[in-house]
Amino acid sequence: MIIKDARFVMSNTDVGKCPAPDRPEYAFIGRSNVGKSSLINMLTGRKKLAKISGKPGKTRLINHFIINNEWYLVDLPGYGFAKVSKTDRKNWQIFIRRYLKFRSNLYCVFLLVDSRIEPQATDLEFMQWLGINSIPFVIVFTKTDKLNKTEFEKFMDNYREKLSENWEELPSMFVSSANSSLGRDEILEFIGNVNLNN
């Protein structure tokens, strides 16, 4: 897939105020500071489409971007160690889960996982919640350029083993690096194929 156009559409916290559900939609989410904005910018070829911050918790709204006027890419707030109030964190959880459960044109969730960190309970629990609610998702491992081949293979073996404790069939997985554009073609091809088959 060649991305010719990528534009910001709107931000909000109310699924009812999202753009009309007339196009396929793909949501990106992960722990704070997982590299979500960098991945989105790498995928779209736009350096400043999603705002990058050194401070975790920068994204606080449901951000819609329209790609090639054909499908929506959605940047969701991160979860985890962001330094925000308990009230804000609870509010985020409510509107994020409402969006994921009730957005009728949501085709798939891309759950980002930092490849430098061992399996985290917050990620595993979120995957379980997605599975229980029959929300399709795939895993994208980020920052893989920070590991050498042996370290990454060990990480992947460990992650697959951990997932196998609760999943009979493992979710699809993508390996990515925003710095080298690793995974870009594979992720965009996946989105293109899902669009064609729905």
Residues 57-69 pLDDT 10s: 445 788 999 999 9
For residue 54, is pLDDT > 70? no
pLDDT grade, residue 80 (50/70/90)?
low
Q: What is the pLDDT of residue 22?
A: 94
Q: What is the pLDDT of residues 141-180, one digit of tens each?
A: 999 999 999 999 999 999 999 999 999 999 999 999 999 9
Q: What is the pLDDT of residue 156?
A: 96
pTM of the predicted model, to two decimals?
Answer: 0.90
Q: What average pLDDT score do residues 31-55 get?
A: 82
Query: What's the chain's average pLDDT?
Result: 88
Q: What is the pLDDT of residue 84?
A: 53
* Architecture of the domain defined by 6-196: 3-Layer(aba) Sandwich (3.40)
- Closest among 40, 26, 34 to 70, alpha carbons compared: 26
- Closest among 193, 178, 190 to 44, alpha carbons compared: 178
pLDDT grade, residue 79 (50/70/90)?
confident
For residue 18, is pLDDT > 80? yes
| CA distances to 73, 115, 184 from 191, in Å | 10, 22, 11
Q: What is the pLDDT of residue 39?
A: 95
Q: What is the pLDDT of residue 48?
A: 79
**Up-side HSE of residue 33: CA atoms within 13 Å toward CB?**
9
pLDDT grade, residue 55 (50/70/90)?
very low
